[in-house]
Each structure stands twice: as C-alpha cells, then as structure tokens.
Amino acid sequence: MDNSEKSWTIVQFDDLSVAAVPTNWIQGELCHWPSYLQTKLANAIRKCEPLNTCWPVHHIKIFRNATYDDYMTARNKSKVAEETSDLASDYENISKRRRVQKVLSSSDDSLTESILPVAPKLRLPTKNNAEIPQKEYHNTYIKESQTAEITPIIENNHLEVEVSDVPQRETERPNSSCVFCEKYFHTLLEQNHLLRSLTTDVLAEIRTLKKNTGPAIQEEIQSVFVKFAKEVKFPMQTDTDVKKLENILENPENFSRAVHEFAGFGGSNTYSFIKRVMSALMTNDMAKQYSWLGRKGKMSFHKLNLSTLLIRSAETAKISENFRQTELAIQSWLKRASERVLQENRQAKKF
C-alpha cells in the first residue's frame, strides 16, 4: 500500500477503549483486530498492514471527522478522545495525566518502537458474539494487563513518559471472566483425558475379544452349504442328496447351525422366506416329486428332518406367527413346483 493511501481512523470499542487503527481494517461498524504480539501489532498498525478477514472482529463506534493521514496525529487524537471524547481539544492540555520522569539514552526511533497499542478486551462468546474464541479473549486480556499505554513528551532535554490512567486501572482490577475461562478450559481438559482413557480401555477389550474368540467366530460364520458340500450338492437334484442331508441333520450341532443360518435369509412374509430357503436347498424338478402328505404318488415331505428345519428357522427369524402358517407356506411352494419347471423350460427355449 502506498503512503498516499494510508490512513488511520479513531474508533471506540465495546469496552470503551479508544485506539487509532488503519482505516482498511474497518468494515461498517466492525473492526478486524489481529492476534499479534505487542511489538508486531504496533508495526502492523503503523505500517497499515493489509486486512485479513480471518482476524477476530470487534464492534466499534467511529468518531466524526476522525480519519488522519499521519499515524502520530491520529494516535495523539485518540488520547484526546479517550480522555475528553472531544477530538477538537488540545492534546497538551488533557487532564488527569500522571507523568513519570525518565532519562532514556535511546534515540527517538527506538522510543517510537516502545509505544505499543493496547488491544481491546474480548468478551466471552455468546449467542450474538459466538465468532470470538475464548482462547483469544484470554491471551488478549493478558497482553492488555501487562502493557500500559505510554506517550512520550520531551521537555528541557528530559523525557517525560505519560502513563494513561485507563490501562493502569485495568491492571489493578481483576477480571472474573478471565478466571472463568481458565476454569472452563481446565474442565474441558479433564473431560478430554477421561474420554481418551475410556476409549483406550474399550479398544483393549475389543482386541482381547478378537484374540480369544477369533477362531470360534470364523467357525460359526462358515456356511452350512460349504460345510456339507463334500457330501451334498446344493441345490439337491436327486433322492441320494436328500438322504445325505437327512443324515447330516440328525446331528444336533449341524441342525442348530442350519437353523441359525436359514433364519438369516429373511423375507417380507412366510412364503417369501420359504421360497428363499427352499430355492437354495432343492431344484424345482426335485421339489415336484414331493407333497406335504405324500399323496398322488409323491413322496411325503413332512416326515423329513428338512421340514422341521424350515419350521424351526421361521420361528427363530420371527417371520411366522405360528406352526400352521409355515406349514401352509411349504405346501404352497411344493404345489407350484410344476409351474416353475414349465416356466424354466419356456425360458430355456427362448435362448
């Protein structure tokens, strides 16, 4: 930014502090204020550093005719506004000043570097001011309480340093909101450590369970179609396959495993459930050789262990209201076996 474009405007913050800030930091009734250290902040204000919209925002009141092209003029006028609220007053005649004489060997340039601006106090976040983090509030308050605003006046080859009353009173007055911030962050920190500890314990228990039950879980997950595949070919196509499956289901462990697996097939209703299971177990050509009671020259299905398996699986899946409902669904599926065979043949001819 060229020197011709630099300007400073005197504003008043919500905490009634007054400062001369670069005009380009102001947007309407808001002022962006960087979270810099005091020395860097002073240089940023004096050099009119370009605006960064990521800086914290403060509500301000802009004085009338309070924009100046010279920084020191704007700074002196800000002192007038802070003491008298009248920019037309003479800076040398401001009342309520305390002077402390000091002899400094440094040059005027080093003295100017020591004049540090005071950052405005930040309020705790509320529903209307949620964009101001508490951490920035705490840090800014510490900077303000540790740094008093100093104005040099050179008279008779001695340097008189004027210390403003307002920053001095701020350093002497404790801030209860700052104490609240420290307690609040301390509570959050304790809760964070507690959550991390609980998470670590849960993960350790999960690893132990996986280690101890891993092989058993793998064995349980193994499908009955894979387990029985060495003896029975699914879907079953011959009486031999049906007899082998009946022998396998005589074993209570095998029967229980099959019940739990078939219960997971699901379905919108009992017939849908029976259709899914039976289609995986038996071909339609084999199914049309069976009827529920074995009439009309067909084999009896209700005498098979497979019928008991289907009923028990429907009960486990809670998809059937009673025994009779599952029995009717099995009968219906067996009766439609011939229709399904004809439909399969028609589709085969099309291809």
Distance CA 112, CA 230 (A): 94
pLDDT in tens, 48-62: 999 988 899 898 998
**Which of helix, strand or coil describes residue 308?**
helix
Short-list 93, 113, 92, 101, CA closest to 45: 113
pTM: 0.40
Q: At residue 284, does pLDDT exceed 50?
A: yes
For the four alpha carbons of 67, 70, 73 and 79, in that order, the dihedral sign comes to positive
pLDDT in tens, 156-179: 444 444 444 444 444 444 555 666
Average pLDDT over residues 70-88: 78
Strands in 98-102's sheet, in edge-to-edge order, are 98-102, 158-163, 150-155
pLDDT band for 96, please (50, 70, 90 cuts): very low
For 107, counting Cβ atoms within 10 Å of its Cβ (0-12 exposed, 13-18 middle, 19+ buried), the class is exposed
pLDDT in tens, 109-151: 444 444 455 556 544 444 444 444 444 444 444 444 444 444 4
Domain boundaries, given as residue ranges, for the chain: 3-173, 180-221, 225-350
